[in-house]
């Protein structure tokens, strides 16, 4: 660049000659130079701004165009990034603890009609009725021709039916792929599994949603695509469950009962190995619920979880446990069990008007004395009794993973007077489900620490709270063992397995609330085995059983549920891997002296 | 020099265009194969699910129980019972083999049997 001098000699000299100040020339030149510099800087800055604006415009333009493109186009799965596992977005399987399938999915097809494409609606209607007898030809033809363009015909088809529909050969009949929930074991564990049905339906797919049981309770987990590959592993054991159901069914028929339920639970983890409720149903073809009458008449009713009954004498052990824990009595303390015990206007008597007199605490349990238990409960007091039963979970629904569980809230008296303390101590006036009872007996079997019944097989379980000391738990177990060796549950003696348990016979409350039925009972047997090292808790309940094998009909638990429970233990214990204790030849003698 | 560079870059453009063309088709082919394989995997998975369901269906306890009853003559299967489980100590072990028999005649009268009780009595007295 050629630099213009600030003081050009020619101009200075001529200015001097004219007598002007040469400084003015210099200043003038300096001004011009500064102006030129300023113009250059401005042009450069403007250029930069324009460039920046252009760059921003291009970047935002690209982003905007991309957004517009994404918004305007149909979504499409990236072809290259689809790993094989997630191709079938299906509902997760349900298996038992050994991985045997309890619920899985099957591809099938739904049948729908597009009437616009239909060639001969009359013939199609006739042919369809031949394949599906439940359809009506006139009705179908009317619906094919009344102007609608689309209609569903069937939700699922078997392959044979699909082939036959193909053979009709009408272009208006179309198939949509469907994923169907299948329960290969039929009625087995029906009340646990519940059932599933279709939710929102489209032509190319339909969502499968759980309608009851664990299918509904854990619907979100089962539908989670991230966990679709991992089956939901239940704590049930298929073989044990089948055995329990078989024996319970035979027992229910033998004892002429209306219904029966059994819960077999691991004592230390709370995992439920078998949960049966009879009568049952086929979850593949779930019956519709009753709209009127007693819900417990429906096979859908889960007696083990929903059936809230007064559980009778099985409760006596809780009063005694608490008294032992509080140090009020020892197993050998003599209790006044003379009848009747009068409290206000109530007179408490024994079963069949027995009078046991002065008996030790262990015999109160073995003989199942109402009066003895009531006296112990009165020593404990209503407030403490309430708190203890609350800690065992008798005041709130169980947390087992079934949709029916939260609805089964125990029925508890609002005012806890002395008479409530007395009746609750022997299991009347407080209604709870067999699941509650299993959880409470689980606490005794688990050395006095509560357990949470669960249907999910897992390695870790929440640690419960201690309700009684392990010493008291041991004493209580010995007393429960006494009930079997020389008490009301002598039929529970299983050769090789020391069973401890307590019977309970409660009169059934009338549905209209006017007292109790004379000849309708709910029999319960809550047991723990093996008694010396408790591993399992078994609760068997029967609704309105009666043993008619003898000359007079017998309705006490000792004759109805106890033999059934004993048979369940005898058959399932080997399946559970419990080796029997060596039995002396000739077996053990059964004492039938005190069977009430 | 400069024309040579022009020709060279022109050829390079043609070559890279040809390469991109081939890569494009190779990618599309690979994508098609992936989707084909995915379809195969899906149908195999579906088949597997069906087989598993059928296996579970055929092995359902009801059916097995009926089969056991039907084939009792041949199989003689019974439910597992406690008596079938045992302890190793309950097993009767075979008796230890008897010592070899003494061959030939043995003179029993010559054995010093009579001294034995006396010796035993003496020992008893020593250690009451």
Which residue of chain B has the CA closest to A92?
B49
Terminal alpha carbon distance of chain B: 128
B57 contacts in chain A (CB < 8 Å)? 182, 184-185
Q: Give the model's pLDDT for residue A86.
A: 43
Min mean pLDDT across A59-68, A341-350, A371-380 is at A341-350
Q: Do A87 and B85 touch (CB under 8 A)?
A: no
Torsion of CA A224, A229, A233, A239, to 10 degrees: 130
A104 contacts in chain B (CB < 8 Å)? 49, 52-53, 56
Contact A293, A313 (CB under 8 A): no
Q: Give the model's pLDDT for residue A452.
A: 92
Using 50, 70 and 90 to split pLDDT, how confident is the model at B128?
very low
Hey, what are A539's tokens? 């609760």
Hey, what are A200's tokens? 């929102």
Which residue of chain B has the CA closest to A99?
B56
Which residue of chain A has the CA closest to B44?
A84
Q: Do B85 and A239 touch (CB under 8 A)?
A: no
Does residue A188 belong to the interface with chain B, where contact is any CB pair within 8 Å?
yes
Contact A566, A538 (CB under 8 A): no
The whole-angstrom distance between B96's CA and the closest CA on chain A is: 25
Give the model confidence (pLDDT) of A84-105 as tens digits. Answer: 444 455 788 999 999 999 998 8
Q: How many CA atoms lie within 13 A of A549 on its CB side?
A: 8
Hey, what are B74's tokens? 């041949």
Q: Give the model's pLDDT for residue B32.
A: 92
Using the predicted structure, report yes or no on whether residue B115 has a pLDDT greater than 60.
Answer: no
Terminal alpha carbon distance of chain A: 124
Min mean pLDDT across A221-225, A335-339, B91-95, B119-123 is at B119-123
Contact B48, B40 (CB under 8 A): no
Residue in A79, A242, A497 closest to B35 by CB = A79
Q: Return mean pLDDT, chain B.
A: 81
Query: In which element (H, E) is residue A214 found?
Result: helix A213-217
Q: Which residues in A568-590 are b (16+ Cβ under 10 Å) and which e?
A: bbbbbbbbbebebeeeeeeeeee
Query: In which element (H, E) is residue A94 found?
Result: strand A94-95
A246 contacts in chain B (CB < 8 Å)? 61, 65
Contact A454, A461 (CB under 8 A): yes
Pinpoint the alpha helices (H) of A341-461.
Answer: 361-367, 370-380, 382-391, 418-425, 434-445
Hey, what are A59's tokens? 């970047």
Distance CA A82, CA A46 (A): 50
- The percent of residues in chain A predicted with pLDDT above 70, rounded, is 95
Q: Which residues of B touch A (CB under 8 A)?
A: 30-31, 34-35, 37-38, 41-42, 45-46, 49-50, 52-57, 59-62, 65, 79-87, 90
Q: Return mean pLDDT, chain A.
A: 87
Hey, what are B78's tokens? 């019974």
Contact A258, A544 (CB under 8 A): yes
Distance CA B69, CA A248 (A): 19
Residue for token pair 């022009």? B6
Hey, what are A427's tokens? 């299991």
Distance CA B16, CA B18 (A): 5
Which residue of chain A has the CA closest to B30?
A80
Strands A334-337, A259-266: pairing is unpaired
Residue in B34, B45, B81 closest to A88 by CB = B45
Query: A234 by DSSP, 3-state: which?
Result: strand
A505 burial level (CB within 10 Å; 0-12, 13-18, 19+): buried
Residue for token pair 């009851």? A212
Q: Which residues in A305-318 are b (16+ Cβ under 10 Å) and which e?
A: bbbbbbbbbbbbbb
Distance CA A58, CA A41 (A): 26
Does residue A495 belong to the interface with chain B, where contact is any CB pair within 8 Å?
yes
Q: Do A573 and B61 touch (CB under 8 A)?
A: no
Q: Give the model's pLDDT for residue B124.
A: 44
Residues in contact with A223: Cβ distance below 8 Å, sequence separation at least 6, in sequence order: A91, A92, A207, A208, A209
Distance CA B120, CA B110 (A): 20
Specify which residues A234 forms β-bridges with.
A456
Distance CA A443, CA A398 (A): 14
Does residue A571 belong to the interface with chain B, where contact is any CB pair within 8 Å?
yes
Interface test with B, best of A81, A86, A88, A241 (most B CBs within 10 A): A88
Q: Do A188 and B57 touch (CB under 8 A)?
A: no
Distance CA A222, CA A210 (A): 9
A106 contacts in chain B (CB < 8 Å)? 49-50, 53
Specify which residues A343 forms β-bridges with.
A346
Does residue A243 belong to the interface with chain B, where contact is any CB pair within 8 Å?
yes
Q: Give the model's pLDDT for residue A147.
A: 82
- Contacts across the A-B interface (CB distance below 8 Å): 90
Using the predicted structure, report yes or no on whether residue B114 has a pLDDT greater than 50.
Answer: no
Hey, what are A216's tokens? 């509904």
The whole-angstrom distance between A231's CA and the closest CA on chain B is: 12
Q: Give the model's pLDDT for residue A58.
A: 97
Interface test with A, best of B53, B68, B84, B91 (most A CBs within 10 A): B53
């Amino acid at each position: 660049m050629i630099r213009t001098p600030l003081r050009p000699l020619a101009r200075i000299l001529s200015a001097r000659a004219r007598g002007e100040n040469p400084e003015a020339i210099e200043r003038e030149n300096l001004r011009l130079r500064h102006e030129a510099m300023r113009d250059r800087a401005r042009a450069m800055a403007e250029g930069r701004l324009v460039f920046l604006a252009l760059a921003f415009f291009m970047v935002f333009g690209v982003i905007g165009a991309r957004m517009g493109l994404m918004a305007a186009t149909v979504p499409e799965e990236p072809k290259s990034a689809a790993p094989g596992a997630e191709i079938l977005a299906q509902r997760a399987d349900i298996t038992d603890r050994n991985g045997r399938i309890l619920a899985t999915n099957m591809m099938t097809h739904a049948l729908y009609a597009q009437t616009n494409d239909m060639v001969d609606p009359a013939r199609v209607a006739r042919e369809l009725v031949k394949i599906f007898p439940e359809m009506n030809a006139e009705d179908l033809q009317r619906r094919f021709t009344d102007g609608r363009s689309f209609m569903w015909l069937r939700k699922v088809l078997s392959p044979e039916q699909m082939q036959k529909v193909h053979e009709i050969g009408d272009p208006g009949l179309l198939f949509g792929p469907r994923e169907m929930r299948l329960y290969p074991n039929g009625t087995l564990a029906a009340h646990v599994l519940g059932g599933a049905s279709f939710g929102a339906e489209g032509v190319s797919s339909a969502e499968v949603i759980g309608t009851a049981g664990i299918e509904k309770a854990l619907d979100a987990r089962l539908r989670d695509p991230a966990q679709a590959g991992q089956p939901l592993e239940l704590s049930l054991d298929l073989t044990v469950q089948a055995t329990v159901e078989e024996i319970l069914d035979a027992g229910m028929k033998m004892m002429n009962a209306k219904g029966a339920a059994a819960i077999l639970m691991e004592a230390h983890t709370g995992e439920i190995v078998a949960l049966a409720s009879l009568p049952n149903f086929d979850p593949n073809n779930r019956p519709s619920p009753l709209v009127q009458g007693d819900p417990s008449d429906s096979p859908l009713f889960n007696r083990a979880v929903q059936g809230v009954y007064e559980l009778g004498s099985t409760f006596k052990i809780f009063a005694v446990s608490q008294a032992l824990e509080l140090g009020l009595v020892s197993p050998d303390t003599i209790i006044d069990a003379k009848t009747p015990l009068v409290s206000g206007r109530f007179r408490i008597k024994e079963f069949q008007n027995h009078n046991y007199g002065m008996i030790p605490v262990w015999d109160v349990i073995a003989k199942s004395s109402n009066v003895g238990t009531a006296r112990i409960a009165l020593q404990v007091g209503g407030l403490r009794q309430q708190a203890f039963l609350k800690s065992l979970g008798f005041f709130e629904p169980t947390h087992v993973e079934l949709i029916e569980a939260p609805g089964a809230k125990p029925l508890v008296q609002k005012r806890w007077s002395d008479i409530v303390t007395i009746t609750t101590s022997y299991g009347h006036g407080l209604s709870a489900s067999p699941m509650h009872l299993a959880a409470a007996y689980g606490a005794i079997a688990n050395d006095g620490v509560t357990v949470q019944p669960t249907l999910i097989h897992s390695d870790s379980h929440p640690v419960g709270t201690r309700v009684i000391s392990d010493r008291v738990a041991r004493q209580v177990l010995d007393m429960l063992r006494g009930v079997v060796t020389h008490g009301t549950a002598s039929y529970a003696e299983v050769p090789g397995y020391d069973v401890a348990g307590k019977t309970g016979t409660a009169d059934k409350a009338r549905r209209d609330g006017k007292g109790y039925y004379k000849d309708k009972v709910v029999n319960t047997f809550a047991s723990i085995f093996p008694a010396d090292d408790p591993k399992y808790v078994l609760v068997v309940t029967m609704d309105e059983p009666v043993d008619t094998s003898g000359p007079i009909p017998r309705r006490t638990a000792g004759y109805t549920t106890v033999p059934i429970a004993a048979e369940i233990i005898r058959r399932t214990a080997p399946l559970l891997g419990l080796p029997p204790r060596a039995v002396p030849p000739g077996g053990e003698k059964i004492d039938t002296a005190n069977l009430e | 020099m400069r024309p040579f560079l022009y020709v060279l870059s022109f050829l390079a453009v043609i070559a890279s265009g040809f390469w991109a063309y081939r890569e494009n088709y190779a990618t599309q082919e690979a994508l098609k194969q992936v989707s084909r394989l995915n379809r195969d995997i899906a149908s195999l998975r579906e088949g597997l699910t069906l087989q598993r369901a059928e296996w579970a269906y055929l092995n359902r306890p009801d059916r097995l129980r009926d089969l056991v009853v039907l084939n009792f003559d041949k199989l003689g299967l019974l439910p597992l019972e406690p008596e079938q489980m045992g302890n190793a100590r309950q097993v009767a072990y075979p008796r230890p083999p008897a010592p070899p028999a003494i061959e030939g005649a043995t003179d029993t009268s010559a054995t010093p049997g009579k001294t034995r009780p006396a010796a035993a009595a003496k020992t008893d007295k020593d250690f009451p």
